[in-house]
Amino acid sequence: MKTIIEPFRIKSVEPIRMTTPEERRHLIREAGYNPFRLRAEHVLIDLLTDSGTGAMSTHQWAGIMEGDESYAGARSFFRFEETVRLIFGHRHVIPTHQGRASERLLCHAVVKPGHVVPGNTHFDTTRANLEASGAEAVDLVIAEGRDIDCLHPFKGNIDLEALETCLTQVGRERVPFVLITVTNNSGGGQPVSMENLRGARAICDRFAVPLLLDAARFAENAYFIKLREPGWEDASPREIARAMFALTDGALMSMKKDAFGNIGGLISLNSDEWAEQIRTALILTEGFPTYGGLAGRDLEALAIGLEEILEEDYLRYRIASTAYVGRHLDAAGVPVLKPFGGHAIYLDGRRFCDHLGNEQLPGWSLSVALYEHTGVRACEIGNVMFGRPDASGAWHWPPLDLVRLAIPRRVYTQSHMDYVIEGIDELHRARRKIGGLRFVHRPTTLPHFTATFAPHDAR
Ligand code: F0G
């Protein structure tokens, strides 16, 4: 059998509301042409993010009832700690309420002004936390990782030569750690190979610098290694994940992705000194170290989610169902980033809307047109998110202007995805009718969340 089916059946359903194109044109205008400002109930299929939007299993919901809500030393913490330790293998397991809380605590404890932190591509909250501590965040993804059409199997790899040069030039005293993100979200959900992690480990050893992973999507990365890296085809996703973490001194994780959590995060570390500093800071903002800003029931659900995410049937379906969307769009001639990522498909806004100039915000305009046409919500990762005017008012645009279709875990069926594919195909055929947009209000930090827009030609 070729067909890869959803490896679950549905026990509880949540209705989604149909709207008409007229209603949607009105709603998005009211929202200042910003999909982040829509009410979620006005969205038919929500592909804004795969973070915290997954469906929990019957086992996780049963675990919720088992949660131990004791302030200190709850049973749920010890279950969580044991599960994490068996996969990650580090000495200290510290729960936090989400990924960026882990980033902030780590930065607060060990990052100082003047530090430099190399990585493949830092996620935007990671970069913001590093910069808030006075450090420079340096992205050293391989050149192939910046080429939208290149079919390299591990486009998330860090450029080892560039890493070595960076460590030589900066010097180990100013590099608190190297941070590799698996999969590389900001680079299109692309995986990092075991060979590349080994190479990074060897360089870090030579300079005596710790190597950490941002492990938000570690299970998807492990499965890509199984599919694409010679020598790993017979290993289980768990064995591969363990081998990945065994090369590191620690990891940060947003458990809203590859732990099937609606909320949750993690710091896993070997260093006693760092763990002590982090726990001290954690008490000030997150809570006691055995709950870290979460309820006992969350810890139960996350421990179960970490086990479920490594099931091979799930990962086979996950990677195949994301690729299904990419393959059909590609076959219809829609410009998409390749190879297809683990958690998302990325449309190339500039090629899709080649009649719009950068100042007309092609990716953003595409995301608005997609909502108007289909009720599907996607997220621009391009001109609006990263474009900056300089002191003279001239705009600097990022290398890529993408629209991310992030697929929540275990939430939508194949017919939902067929609807998305059909809608994007129709929109692509009529793409010349997509109108450009311009800023009406643009906050200077993280503008995409709250900016408002108007049609480019309407003054
Ligand atoms: N690291 C990576 C690689 C991420 O993708 C995210 C979040 C974070 C850290 C921060 O985690 O949201 O739990 O605080 N990514 C989401 C996204 C928001 O839509 O890609 P968080």
Question: Is the per-residue pLDDT at 395 higher than 90?
Answer: yes
Q: Does ligand 1 lie within 6 Å of residue 51's CB atom?
A: yes
Phi and psi at 100, nearest 5°, equal -70, -20
- What average pLDDT does range 165-170 have in this prediction? 98
* Domain boundaries defined on the chain: 21-50+312-455, 58-308
| Model pLDDT, residue 152 | 97
Per residue in 241-258, pLDDT (tens digit) is: 999 999 999 999 999 999
Q: Does ligand 1 lie within 6 Å of residue 181's CB atom?
A: yes
- What average pLDDT does range 420-433 have in this prediction? 98
Question: Is the per-residue pLDDT at 174 higher than 70?
Answer: yes
Q: Whose CA is nearest to atom 12 of ligand 1?
A: 99
Which of 125, 181, 262 has most ligand 1 atoms within 8 Å of its beta carbon, as the pocket-test mutant?
125
Tell me the percentage of the chain whose pLDDT exceeds 90: 95
| Model pLDDT, residue 276 | 97
Say yes or no: do domains 21-50+312-455 and 58-308 share a fold: no
Q: Does ligand 1 lie within 6 Å of residue 404's CB atom?
A: no
Label residue 162 by pLDDT band (50, 70, 90): very high
- Closest ligand 1 atom to the C-alpha of 100? 14
Q: Whose CA is nearest to atom 9 of ligand 1?
A: 99
Token pair for 429 = 């055929």
Label residue 218 by pLDDT band (50, 70, 90): very high
- What average pLDDT does range 216-245 have in this prediction? 98
Q: Compute, in angstroms, the gap from residue 123 CA to the centroid of ligand 1.
A: 7
What pTM value is reported for the model? 0.96
How many residues appear in the chain?
A: 459
- Fold annotation for 21-50+312-455: Aspartate Aminotransferase, domain 1 (3.90.1150)
- What average pLDDT does range 413-438 have in this prediction? 97
Label residue 18 by pLDDT band (50, 70, 90): very high
- What average pLDDT does range 404-411 have in this prediction? 98
Nearest in space to 138 (alpha carbons), one of 123, 119, 125, 155:
119
Strand order from edge to edge, sheet including 211-214: 92-96, 265-269, 250-254, 211-214, 178-181, 116-119, 136-139
Q: Compute, in angstroms, the gap from residue 234 CA to the centroid of ligand 1.
A: 30
Average pLDDT, rounded, for the chain: 96
Token pair for 396 = 């600097």
| Model pLDDT, residue 195 | 98
Q: Compute, in angstroms, the gap from residue 382 CA to the centroid of ligand 1.
A: 17
Per residue in 268-315, pLDDT (tens digit) is: 999 999 999 999 999 999 999 999 999 999 999 999 999 999 999 999
Tell me the percentage of the chain whose pLDDT exceeds 70: 100
Per residue in 109-157, pLDDT (tens digit) is: 999 999 999 999 999 899 999 999 999 999 999 999 999 999 999 999 9
Question: Is the per-residue pLDDT at 458 higher than 80?
Answer: no
Q: Does ligand 1 lie within 6 Å of residue 53's CB atom?
A: no
Question: Is the per-residue pLDDT at 459 higher than 80?
Answer: no
Adjacent-strand bridge partners of 454: 438
The rounded distance, in Å, linking the Cα atoms of 32 and 452 is 5
| Model pLDDT, residue 382 | 93
The CATH number of domain 58-308, selected from 3.40.50.1000, 3.40.640.10, 3.10.28.10, 3.40.50.300: 3.40.640.10
* 88 Cβ contact list (under 8 Å, min separation 6): 215, 245, 251, 268
| Model pLDDT, residue 91 | 98
Query: Looking at the annotation, which residues are catalytic?
Result: 71, 123-124, 214, 216, 257, 448
Dihedral sign computed on CA atoms, order 387, 388, 389, 390: negative
Question: Is the per-residue pLDDT at 333 higher than 70?
Answer: yes
Nearest in space to 381 (alpha carbons), one of 203, 223, 188, 232:
188
Q: Compute, in angstroms, the gap from residue 26 CA to the centroid of ligand 1.
A: 31
Q: Compute, in angstroms, the gap from residue 8 CA to the centroid of ligand 1.
A: 26
